[in-house]
Structure 1
Amino acid sequence: QQNFPIQSQATELLALQHVMKKLKMGGRCGIVVPEGILFRGDAFAQVKKELLENYNLHTIVSLPSGVFANVTSSGQGPKTNLLFFDRTGPTKEIWYYELTPPPGVKYTKASPIKDEHLSDAYEKWKTRAVSENSWIEPVENIVKRGYDLTAKNPNRIDNYEHRSPEELVAGVLAKERRITKILEEVKTLLESEKRKEV
């Protein structure tokens, strides 16, 4: 841990620094990283700053949870991203692709990702196409966000925009009733515990 320019206890950050340090001029790299590397600050932001200033981070593919389900005991798998960069100069822009599973598919150990699920990403990557799942982010925007590299798809349509105000209010009221019920149960439990103490 002492051999790294930016000190950290996070092994994933140390691994990224190691790969960056070992990459020769003109070299290319593709690496899988957990989601936390993209949004965390402090030492993480320092490493990302170096990555953007001294390497060309040209592509980030955001993978859904479960793609690497085999690496956790729960079988769920962490949310991960594929970073592709080379040592040819600083980053000017990043092409993002947000991979979404086909309808009705959830990636797990028993239901892993298939090559054909990546075919759209691969085809769009060839031309860096902008689509519902892909977009280009100028590096200036990322710097303004404090080096947050998280894939925030500007092209995704949020379902909430299509719900009527009545539906939204009904949803909030239903959640409020559920919260009230839970709080009443907690209050009853606390009162019961208090009586036992007396």
Structure 2
Amino acid sequence: MRPLLRVLLVLSATLPAGCATHPDAAAPVVATVIVVRHAEKVDASRDPDLSAAGRARAQALAARLDDATLAAVYATEFKRTGQTVGPTADAHRLAITPYGAGQPASAVAARLRADHPRGTVLVAGHSNTVPELVAALCACAVAPMADTEYDRFSVVTFDARGRARLDVQRYGAPSATP
């Protein structure tokens, strides 16, 4: 076989595969829900303010999301969650939408998905609510959260078919280990 013909046959055999979309390729992300726990608090009272470390973490969150295009920001009715997402909401000129800390995670997840089928949403909760909310969003197993863990940054993305993917990251200063 002539060398030129061989090259053309090889190229023609590889071009369709290179141009075709792989059936297992991930669909583009259409919605993202970022879930964090409130930052460090001054004491163990029922509704404390953030400590200096907590205020620094809230600023780190705002810096982390500086380039994000946020559609909404949610926080429970407690001061510490609002103070955690406050700098981010202010930077994006968004009001903080309250939700009840005692609401079932499945109800909160359903509300978030219904109200925000597209775009990026930030949600602040508590060590006893964040894992359940993330699990309800992604329909996946989520590790429990220690009472000393403040740096978990859970990102749940949804493609156009509604399939969820969880990516757990960290932000701000590392949390103390128990």
TM-score (normalizing by structure 1): 0.24
Relative CO higher for 1 or 2, CA cutoff 8 Å, sep ≥ 6?
Answer: 2
Instruction: Name the structure where strand makes up a greater proportion of residues.
Output: 2
| Structure-2-length-normalised TM-score | 0.26
